[in-house]
Amino acid sequence: MRLRMVLVCLVVGCLTTVPGRAQADSSEEAAKLGVEGRACLAKADLEGAKKAFKAAAKADRENEEYRQLYAVVRRVIKIREALADEKDAEKWAKTAGALRGFYYEHEIYREALALDRQAHAKQKTTESAVMLAETQLELGMNAEAANLLGGIDDEAMTTEAWLLLGVVQARRGEMDAARNVMKHIPKPDEAGPGVLFEMARLHSLMGDQDKAAVALTKCFKSTPPSRLDAFKAYAKECKDLHGLIAHASFAKTMETKSKVKESKCSGGTSCGKCPSKGGCASKKKTGAKPADKKTCGHEKDKD
């Protein structure tokens, strides 16, 4: 009798622990593959990332994150291939925008730089120059960015362009020139989150941490809730905000909550018949990472 009980317990124990153990093993394996995939992404090895995320998704089929990463990387590889053959300038710009969005989301700035150079060579607009300068700033290519922005006529300069010029001048220690740039900057109340973030960077680089804190707080307030955490994480890592990060007001700034409603936008190309156009928060102010703002169809940060 006792032997039978022991056997039953053993069988029950095995039946309950083996699947759990197997699941834990596959989750661990998936996590490892996920790390591998991210490492590939950081090296701009999209094929490697695709393979790793696919294997991770296979190992842990319940994990939605790996499925999504695999699906996105697969899609991005396709658009990258399509971009090389695209003859239509408008389509090329749209596809390049989506590709750039991916690079920025995963901080693959080297690839973004090559893309922005191509875009600027094709378009030669202030907007394309600003995008290129922005990537150059991400990569610490201050002299190149200063050259590029300095070469734009004053009349063609936008608020974004002035701000980036100010940032690059401040980085290079040209404080008088940077201060001069400030007169072209609108009041914080009139700006979108992308501009506000750049303002915070510029103020912080110039040593005015109170103004930087005000701009960053307003920026967070006008960022949709779903993007706020990523935005805050980006701010924490931003070297240009170093002065502000060390300042007493930074902790309070990081507690700022979003004041805008989540966008209901379906991502379409026209607002014309959108059912939500009447109450669309994203039309006025939304914020992904500030660097990602320029190609937005709603032109929310245009001046």
Partner 1 sequence: MKTTRRVIQFGFLALTLVGVFVVRGNAERWCPFGGVEAIYGYISEGNMLCSLGVSNFYILGAILLLTLLLRRVFCGYMCPIGTISEWLQSGARRVGIRPIKVPYGLDRGLALLKYAVLVIVLFITYRASELLFRGFDPCYALLSRHGEDITVWTYVVTGAVVVGSLFVVMPFCRWLCPLAAVLNPFSRFGLTRITRDENACTDCGECSTACPMAIPVDKVKTVTAARCMSCMDCLDACPTRGEGAIAWGPPKTLGRSWPQAVLVVVMLLLVSAAVGASYAFPLPSFVKMRDMQPGESAPPAPAVVELEIENLTCRGKATLLWYFLDRDDEFAIKGYLKIEAWPGPGQAKTRISYDPTLTEETAIKEAVTEPYFDLVEQFWRPSPFRIEGYDPLDLDD
Contact status: 268 vs partner 1 (CB under 8 A): yes
Contact segment (CB under 8 A) with partner 1 among 3-11, 36-44, 95-103, 114-122 equals 95-103
CA distance 226 to 214: 22
CB of 99 to partner 1, least distance (A): 9
Contact status: 235 vs partner 1 (CB under 8 A): no
Contact status: 20 vs partner 1 (CB under 8 A): no
Are 153 and 137 a contacting pair, CB within 8 Å?
A: no
Question: For partner 1, how many residues bind (rule: CB under 8 A)?
Answer: 49
- Helix residue spans in 106-158 (DSSP H): 109-123, 126-138, 142-150
- Write the interaction track for partner 1 spanning residues 121-160; mark x where CB under 8 A is met and - where it is not: ----------------------------------------
Closest CB to partner 1 among 105 and 144? 105
- Interacting residue with partner 1 among 21, 43, 78, 236 (CB under 8 A): 78
Contact status: 261 vs partner 1 (CB under 8 A): no
CB of 100 to partner 1, least distance (A): 9
- Interacting residue with partner 1 among 32, 38, 51, 94 (CB under 8 A): 94
CB of 98 to partner 1, least distance (A): 4
Q: Which amino acid is at 87?
A: K
Contact status: 61 vs partner 1 (CB under 8 A): yes
Contact status: 71 vs partner 1 (CB under 8 A): yes
Contact status: 224 vs partner 1 (CB under 8 A): yes
CA distance 184 to 102: 31
CB of 206 to partner 1, least distance (A): 28
Q: Which amino acid is at 22?
A: A
- Interacting residue with partner 1 among 26, 27, 63, 95 (CB under 8 A): 95
CA distance 214 to 222: 13
Q: What are the CA-CA distances from residue 4 to residues 92, 113, 126, 286 (Å)?
A: 72, 70, 82, 67
Question: What DSSP designation does 266 have?
Answer: -
CA distance 211 to 99: 34
Sorted by sequence, the CB contacts under 8 Å of residue 67 that are 6+ apart come out as 57
Tokens of 155: 């009349």
Closest CB to partner 1 among 211 and 294? 294
Round to the nearest angstrom and report the end-to-end CA distance of the chain: 85
